[in-house]
Structure 1
Amino acid sequence: MLLGPFRRSRSKINWHKNPSERNKIESISIENKVALVTGANRGIGKAIVESFINHGAKKVYLAVRNPESTKALEEQFGDKVVTTQADVSDADSIKRLAEQAQDVDIVVNNAGVLFQSSPFGEDAEAALTKELDVNVFGLLRVANAFADILVKNQGALVQLNSVASIKNFADLSTYSASKAASYSLTQGIRWELKDKGVAMLSVHPGPIATDMGTEAGFDDGASTTTVSEGIVEALAAGDFHLFPDEMAKQFETAYQSFSDNIVMADFSE
């Protein structure tokens, strides 16, 4: 029964003559922008802060659960960074964060959690519950709290997803499921904000050399700067998807046609 409406809507899909152009959004430069990064104290988040400032960001809010964890960044960048306590699993915390960061142009929702869990593991339900709370509901909380600010400032929302959002890895099955959900939400958020002047970037790294990558069993991941510099370039290019590292680019090659013709297709017309 679900196929019926889909078949009837095919003639209404807005098939662009150049499908890759549907991936394009407004170009966003980092220079002189105010940014906010969740989970900014280490790994990819820390690298994003460094890349943004190196590319001329005016100020970066460091949104972390433990304010003591950003001392090194504060010493490195001085008044260009502002540490603020925030937890994406706490809606009130994210609302307070948005009230504090009314001047933000670019929000990077980087905070996330990962647990090694197969579908039949004893801890699978607990792992998925926590991953959904942080990786999925966390995105929803951040997007809702900052949407009006980003519309006002004509800014950008960057979501750290994963190649696991489009391929389930059995030993990371619950994490993969949470990232698939966050990627689906990312697409919906993009459609809601694109006509309001807000850019959306969905980032899909493969294994990266971080504590999380090590916990997942990857000891030879790509550098964090591969992701952070890729974000700067993707925002400037007006892209919606970013597959930054070598493994991720293999996914991109295989996924491109589906992305162009389904994910980025306009089914509303």
Structure 2
Amino acid sequence: MTTPNTHTHPAPGLRIEGAVALVTGANRGLGRHFARQLMERGAARVYATARRPEAVDLPGVVPLRLDVTDDDEVRAAAAAAGDVTLLVNNAGVSRWTNLVTADLADVRAEMETNFWGTLATVRAFAPVLAANGGGAILNVLSAQSWHAYPGTNGYHATKAAQWALTNGVRVELAEQGTLVTGLHLGAVDTDFSAAYDGPKGAPAVVVRAGLDGIEAGAAEVIADDWSAHVKKSLAEDPTRLYDEIRAGIV
């Protein structure tokens, strides 16, 4: 894996040491890695949220109930964590859907979590961040923000929407001094990607890249070679990328 690629943002970065962070979906996978690394890097407090906070098992964090698709719980979390300076939108879901043939309820459920849930937390915490000096938001996106893949095209659509959301709120929150960073990654070795049998990156490396990006004031972090390759392909004929995907070069 090469050194992650970051594109700098004109706003200053946020120092992790002393920050107060809230991580969505922190009971397992990438979210758990985020919570742990934030503690290791000296965050003053880490709110580790989950639909079932009793499932959060990291010592030293503050478990907090949060289902990002539940507006009441989102508002309650923002009220309970009024000292937050860093919001990590990690919660996400894939139901392995195709757009044409899958149960539409499953596609809608993916959008409810990945797009609407992220937007709900951003809207709830934007005033909190403003009151605490601006702070930062890190949205966990995907290489699939930029490409389709057989069996996960509902997820692809939601991540493309979440990428657009990230770009939009970056512009909207710049005036209040909030850094908004998008983290793009390919498959990583967590429960989330258990059904995928291709190459997978190390979650700790991806999380470190995201947090380094926050400290550097990066607008975008490209965490691995595959994500960099996919983004570069956007300027080319898309046929080439999809020929690679069909040939299994992923």
Counterpart contact for 1:213–1:219, Cα < 8 Å: no
Alignment partner of 1:143 out of 118, 122, 126: 122
Counterpart contact for 2:146–2:231, Cα < 8 Å: no
Q: Quote how far apart the aligned CAs of 1:23 are.
A: 3.9
Q: Quote how far apart the aligned CAs of 1:53 are.
A: 1.2
Larger Rg: 1
Aligned residues: 230
Q: Does 1:225 align with 2:204?
A: yes
Q: Does 1:59 align with 2:59?
A: no
Q: Does 1:97 align with 2:77?
A: yes
Provide, for residues 145-195 of structure 1, a one-character-per-residue CA deviation record: whole Å limited to 9, x for no partner. Answer: 001011111200111111111112232111100111111111111100012
Give TM-score scaled by structure 1 length. 0.81
2:190 matched residue in structure 1: 210
2:13 matched residue in structure 1: 27
1:103 aligned partner, one-letter code: D
Instruction: Give SS of 1:240's match.
Output: strand
Alignment partner of 1:162 out of 142, 147, 154: 142
1:202 aligned partner, one-letter code: G
1:239 matched residue in structure 2: 218
Relative distance call for 1:22 and 1:57 in structure 2 (3 A) is: closer
Counterpart contact for 1:162–1:206, Cα < 8 Å: yes
2: distance between equivalents of 1:21 and 1:51?
Answer: 22
1:233 aligned partner, one-letter code: D
1: distance between equivalents of 2:90 and 2:214?
Answer: 15
Q: Quote how far apart the aligned CAs of 1:238 are.
A: 1.0
Q: Does 1:129 align with 2:108?
A: yes
Q: Quote how far apart the aligned CAs of 1:254 are.
A: 4.2
* Higher helix proportion (structure 1 or 2): 1
Instruction: Give SS of 1:158's match.
Output: strand
Counterpart contact for 1:29–1:232, Cα < 8 Å: no
1:50 matched residue in structure 2: 36
Give % identity.
32
Alignment partner of 1:87 out of 57, 67, 70: 67
Relative distance call for 1:26 and 1:249 in structure 2 (3 A) is: same
Counterpart contact for 2:8–2:216, Cα < 8 Å: no
Give TM-score scaled by structure 2 length. 0.87
1:224 aligned partner, one-letter code: P
Q: Quote how far apart the aligned CAs of 1:218 are.
A: 3.6
Counterpart contact for 1:41–1:69, Cα < 8 Å: yes
Q: Structure 2 unaligned runs (5+)? A: 1-5, 237-250
1:168 aligned partner, one-letter code: A
CA RMSD of aligned residues (A): 1.9
Matches for 1:168-207 after TM superposition, within 5 Å:
168-207=148-187
Q: Quote how far apart the aligned CAs of 1:255 are.
A: 5.3
Q: Quote how far apart the aligned CAs of 1:250 are.
A: 2.1
1:15 matched residue in structure 2: none
Relative distance call for 1:70 and 1:246 in structure 2 (3 A) is: same
2: distance between equivalents of 1:93 and 1:231?
Answer: 26
Q: Quote how far apart the aligned CAs of 1:22 are.
A: 6.9
Q: Quote how far apart the aligned CAs of 1:60 are.
A: 0.2
Q: Structure 1 unaligned runs (5+)? A: 1-19, 258-269
Instruction: Give SS of 2:56's match.
Output: helix
